[in-house]
């Protein structure tokens, strides 16, 4: 899986905000333990977890419990550039909201923004993040306030009612963040969601233009596809390793050659994920070994050779590390289980 990231514009805006409030780059680097610019990917993205670290550390350094909300509200609308332009050129606000839901990953490549309408006259934009990879309060409030400020003109023009809900806990005194969002805020909710008056959806956008809208949507889809390529490269590498295993454990150069790219290009692509080539080789062997043992057609010695192990003993040790059982015992258990079901 790829490493969740944020757009470089968010990083630039956050660092500028911190510097404007009295923390120079040297002090920040000393506090967080890394130089932010050195962690930008070749696509100009920045790891989300490091972004969270900067937010949390700066919050302490500036003694600002609402640092995320303040920095998000102060961020430039350019981060939302393409998504905002899609919204402005959309035929109506409903299509503009669809753009936020469909392309929010261009800003923060983690979780999904879900668009929905309720029976009680509300429209909801909900940021759904994986339960096993939650995000910090500072990041959530940064994301929400940056979106609000980028769309403030159209919201102020057409939307009279709005409410904001956060799943995280927050300060008892909510006056500051309610001032920033210009809406009631509730903490400890079931989800992170912005609610709007549903009648707002049929309102025209600022500059509706079908041609521009369609062109921008295609461009946004292309940019989104580039982010998703890193998921595909992991799958492609694993499949390639499986094909080459019968001839021995492949090297990165051999896999790169089969995939039609330079070794440095493959390494750079893998650097944008949360794994590495050695781990993918292990994953490929693990997946293939389970398949072959379950099929029951090959002897363990033959499976060992199929997976590129030098001897059966090495295969058995690896299999037990992966699944907690020796392959013979694992196969027997699977056969007993299948017989009981039938």
**Cα–Cα distance, 194 to 175 (Å, whole number):** 17
**Cα–Cα distance, 336 to 342 (Å, whole number):** 10
**Cα–Cα distance, 15 to 306 (Å, whole number):** 51
pLDDT per position as a tens digit, 230-276? 667 888 899 999 999 999 999 999 999 998 888 887 887 787 666 78
pLDDT per position as a tens digit, 283-323? 999 999 999 999 888 999 999 999 999 899 999 999 999 99
User: Which helix or strand (DSSP H or E) is residue 122 part of?
Assistant: strand 122-128
In this structure, the number of other CB atoms found within 10 A of the CB of residue 197 comes to 15
Cα 225 to Cα 46, 80, 128, 219, distances in angstroms: 17, 17, 20, 10
Which pTM does this prediction carry? 0.70
Per-residue pLDDT of the chain (342 residues), as tens digits, is 567 899 999 999 999 999 999 999 999 999 999 999 999 887 788 999 999 999 999 999 999 999 999 999 999 878 887 888 888 898 888 888 888 888 888 899 888 888 888 877 888 889 988 887 899 999 999 999 998 888 777 777 767 788 999 999 999 999 999 999 999 999 999 999 999 888 777 777 778 899 999 999 998 888 887 777 666 788 889 999 999 999 999 999 999 999 888 888 788 778 766 678 999 999 999 999 999 999 888 999 999 999 999 899 999 999 999 999 999 999 988 888 777 665
* Residue of 283, 314, 285, 282 lying closest to 301 (CA atoms): 314
Q: Give φ, ψ of 185 to 5 degrees.
A: -125, 135
**Cα–Cα distance, 17 to 40 (Å, whole number):** 19
Cα 253 to Cα 48, 52, 194, 275, distances in angstroms: 30, 35, 48, 17
Please tell me the predicted confidence (pLDDT) of residue 270.
82
Structural domains for the chain: 5-208 (3.90.1520.10), 230-341 (1.10.10.60)
């Amino acid at each position: 899986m790829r490493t969740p990231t944020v757009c470089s514009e968010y990083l630039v805006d956050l660092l500028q905000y911190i510097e404007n409030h009295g923390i120079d780059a040297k002090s920040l680097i000393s506090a967080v333990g890394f130089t932010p610019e050195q962690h930008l990917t070749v696509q100009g993205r920045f790891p989300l977890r490091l972004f969270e670290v900067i937010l949390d550390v700066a919050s302490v350094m500036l003694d600002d419990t609402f640092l995320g909300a303040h920095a998000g509200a102060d961020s430039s609308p350019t981060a939302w550039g393409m998504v905002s332009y899609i919204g402005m050129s959309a035929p109506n606000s409903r299509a503009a909201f669809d753009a936020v839901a469909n392309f929010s990953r261009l800003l923060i490549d983690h979780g999904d923004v879900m668009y929905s309408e309720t029976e009680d006259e509300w429209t909801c934009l909900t940021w759904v993040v994986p339960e096993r990879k939650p995000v910090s309060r500072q990041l959530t409030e940064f994301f929400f306030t940056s979106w609000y400020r980028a769309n403030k003109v159209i919201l102020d023009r057409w939307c009279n009612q709005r409410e904001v809900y956060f799943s995280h806990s927050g300060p008892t005194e909510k006056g500051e963040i309610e001032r920033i969002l210009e809406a009631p805020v509730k903490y400890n909710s079931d989800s992170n969601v912005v609610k709007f008056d549903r009648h707002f959806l049929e309102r025209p956008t600022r500059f509706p233009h079908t041609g521009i809208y369609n062109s921008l949507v295609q461009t946004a889809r292309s940019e989104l596809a580039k982010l998703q390529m890193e998921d595909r490269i992991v799958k492609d590498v694993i499949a390639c390793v499986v094909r080459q295993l019968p001839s021995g454990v492949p090297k990165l150069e051999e896999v790169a050659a089969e995939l039609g790219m330079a070794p440095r290009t493959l390494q750079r692509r893998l650097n944008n994920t949360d794994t590495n080539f050695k781990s993918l080789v292990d994953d490929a062997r693990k997946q293939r070994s389970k398949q072959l043992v379950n099929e029951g057609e090959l002897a363990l010695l033959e499976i060992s050779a199929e997976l590129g192990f030098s001897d059966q003993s090495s295969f058995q040790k690896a299999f037990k590390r992966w699944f907690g059982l020796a392959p013979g015992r694992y196969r027997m258990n699977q056969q007993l289980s299948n017989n009981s079901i039938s």
